Amino acid sequence: MWLQEKMPRLDNDERAEVNQENLDRIFTIPESSGATLARIEQEISSNIDGFLREHIVAEEKSMPEIEADFSSVEITEQPFYVQAYTDFILKHLVAQSVHTSSPGFIGHMSSALPYFMLPLSKIITALNQNMVKVETSKAFTPMERQVLGMLHGLIYERDDAFYQQWLHSPDHALGAFCSGGTVANITALWVARNRCMNEGTISKSGLHGAMQEAGIKGLVVLVSRRGHYSLLKAVDLLGLGRDNLITIETDEQNKVNVQAMREKAEALREQGYRIMSLVGIAGTTETGNVDPLEEIAALSKELKCHFHVDGAWGGPTLFSEKYKSLLKGIELADSVTIDAHKQFYVPMGAGMVLFKDPESLQSIELHAEYIIRRGSRDLGQQSLEGSRPGMALLVHAGLNIIGRKGYEMLIDQGIEKAKHFAQMIDEHDDFELLIHPELNIMGYRFAPKWIQECLQKTDRDSVNWINEKLDLINKNIQKAQREQGKTFVSRTRIGMEKYNGAELIYFRVILANPLTRKGDLTAVLEHQLEFARHELAQEILTEIKQRCH
């Protein structure tokens, strides 16, 4: 095959024979305990951090180099031995993966995981239940419903009678468990769309006919310009069109301007559009801010439209007695998205959408003969996905083993750590704080104090010119830091009120890993300053200096 010479391929001598005995063996008897795969399992169990540190190499290989290792599309006729395959994977895949749980990697929304998530994940894999129906999940079905009920209770705080009536009711659902926040947001807006006209019309006859009949020009969704990109996917998928996700300006704290939202909604109505849903954000992806949810709730009540809250990131702030008031109004939402693989510290692949009204999900309900029969308890009746794993167990475990108080501590510490880091930046001579933390997300950039002072005094053209130069330095610092592999922040670019709305590149920091200590934060800045001392950066700084004088 092509690229063969460049590629690290498993040796041909190492092929296993395909016969009944070998086939039976891989489906039943584990290899001897001395073998690599068993050893790895043991290593992970006893010391996951050690395993990751040992096997993930720090220095980054270039993508084309890594791609060369995964470039043949040939499927081997004769299989490889498990041992040979495992060696390959350790050397070429694990070594070149990302240490998402490292305390100095504060640019992702992934963090270290509680150790008990690993053995419980293994139980999920071993049991291999399929949540689509009771016949293939049995006790996992009520367990998942309980988890959805617990989250519903966290948000909506209904009384015992409410949960007694709806939690296990076959025809009702307090929410849907899904693969992630994107599917959760899509599900919420799907429900909103199907309910926004004569119940059932859109679902049955389609959008075009229903809108023609109602004489509507378009269905629109309004959200702050800080809304997650999954909302664009949702309006595309649902047939509304991306143009009909209307983004609204935000204030200096990245909170949506509800007055502007109201004016826009009214103008759109006059033009013949119907407001399908308002979306409030509880923890924007890029800045961690929370919209004024109570005000948006009031507006959606006036407009008689759906109110969805995207709390994928910030939802678990409800555990904090100190900070939960930031989310005031979330209990008025018709639907709320929360990602468990974010601040519930569950591995990747666990999102949830909760609905205030246990009948909401009936608007997407579906039945079949061999499965998800009417009147059954099958979860697949009211979900976007079909077959799904029993990931809800991991949320169930977190809620019981970490508990309210544990999650509260995690949330509080993250926010306080972000405030601390913001203060460090503010007091530092070489950095500029751009995103003040409301939750545990903040943003800053490399910009020595003298440049910051210059930016305050100079003319608008120079401000833009200098900011473009700073963008270049900051982009290069972030890339170099990532490639070095010791610490990591992400980078993004948004419009900043401080600089007349100009879009600036900044370092995005997420402080959710409980293992991140102050020393890690210091290290992040030290590494960045290292790269700022490089030739190219210094040249640009000299240019800026000339402009500033």
Of 211 and 297, nearer to its own copies (C-beta) is 211
Binds its own copies by CB under 8 A, chosen from 221, 332, 336, 393:
393
- Residue 21 and residue 15: Cα distance in Å, rounded? 15
- Residue 532 and residue 218: Cα distance in Å, rounded? 50
Closest distance to its own copies from the beta carbon of 169 (Å): 10
Q: Is 472 in the site for its own copies (CB under 8 A)?
A: no
Binds its own copies by CB under 8 A, chosen from 322, 404, 518, 545:
404
- Residue 525 and residue 321: Cα distance in Å, rounded? 32
CA 365 to chain centre: 26
Piece in contact with its own copies (CB under 8 A), picked from 117-125, 326-334, 469-477, 519-527: 117-125
DSSP secondary structure string for all residues of 294-318: HHHHHHHHHHT-EEEEE-TTTGGGG
Q: Is 247 in the site for its own copies (CB under 8 A)?
A: no
> Which of positions 487-516 make contact with its own copies (CB under 8 A)?
488, 490-494, 508, 514-515
Piece in contact with its own copies (CB under 8 A), picked from 34-42, 450-458, 462-470, 523-531: 34-42
Cβ-based neighbour number of residue 54 at 10 Å: 13
Closest distance to its own copies from the beta carbon of 482 (Å): 7
Q: Is 51 in the site for its own copies (CB under 8 A)?
A: yes
DSSP state of 91: I
Question: Which residues are 220's β-sheet partners?
Answer: 275
Binds its own copies by CB under 8 A, chosen from 102, 140, 415, 434:
140
> Which of positions 256-285 make contact with its own copies (CB under 8 A)?
285
Of 216 and 548, nearer to its own copies (C-beta) is 216
Task: With beta carbons less than 8 A apart as the criterion, state whether 330 and 309 touch.
Answer: yes
- Residue 475 and residue 255: Cα distance in Å, rounded? 26
Total residues at the site for its own copies (CB under 8 A)? 187
Q: Exposed e or buried b for every residue in 264-296, given b needs 16+ CB within 10 A?
A: bbeebeeeebbbbbbbbbbbbbbbbbbbbbbbb
Residue whose token pair is 């009702």? 172
Closest distance to its own copies from the beta carbon of 463 (Å): 20
Piece in contact with its own copies (CB under 8 A), picked from 258-266, 346-354, 469-477, 534-542: 346-354
Closest distance to its own copies from the beta carbon of 432 (Å): 18
Closest distance to its own copies from the beta carbon of 328 (Å): 19
- For 57, list phi and psi in degrees, rounded to 5: -80, 145
Closest distance to its own copies from the beta carbon of 312 (Å): 9
Binds its own copies by CB under 8 A, chosen from 106, 327, 399, 411:
399
Closest distance to its own copies from the beta carbon of 342 (Å): 9
Cβ-based neighbour number of residue 196 at 10 Å: 22
Q: Is 412 in the site for its own copies (CB under 8 A)?
A: no
Q: Is 348 in the site for its own copies (CB under 8 A)?
A: yes
Question: Which residues are 432's β-sheet partners?
Answer: 445
Of 172 and 262, nearer to its own copies (C-beta) is 172
Q: Is 160 in the site for its own copies (CB under 8 A)?
A: yes
Binds its own copies by CB under 8 A, chosen from 5, 21, 34, 75:
75
Task: With beta carbons less than 8 A apart as the criterion, state whether 292 and 258 touch.
Answer: yes
Task: With beta carbons less than 8 A apart as the criterion, state whether 519 and 525 touch.
Answer: no
> Which of positions 357-376 make contact with its own copies (CB under 8 A)?
364, 366-372
> Which of positions 439-468 make contact with its own copies (CB under 8 A)?
none
- Residue 57 and residue 316: Cα distance in Å, rounded? 33
> Which of positions 526-545 make contact with its own copies (CB under 8 A)?
none
Cβ-based neighbour number of residue 31 at 10 Å: 15
Q: Which pair of tokens denotes residue 193?
A: 């769309």
Binds its own copies by CB under 8 A, chosen from 139, 253, 475, 497:
139
- Residue 419 and residue 441: Cα distance in Å, rounded? 9
- Residue 87 and residue 310: Cα distance in Å, rounded? 42
Binds its own copies by CB under 8 A, chosen from 102, 106, 149, 435:
149
Closest distance to its own copies from the beta carbon of 184 (Å): 10
Q: Is 57 in the site for its own copies (CB under 8 A)?
A: no
- Residue 148 and residue 171: Cα distance in Å, rounded? 15
Binds its own copies by CB under 8 A, chosen from 119, 272, 501, 519:
119
**Strands 335-339 and 431-435, bridge-based pairing:** unpaired
DSSP state of 549: -
> Which of positions 82-101 make contact with its own copies (CB under 8 A)?
82, 85, 89, 92-98, 100-101
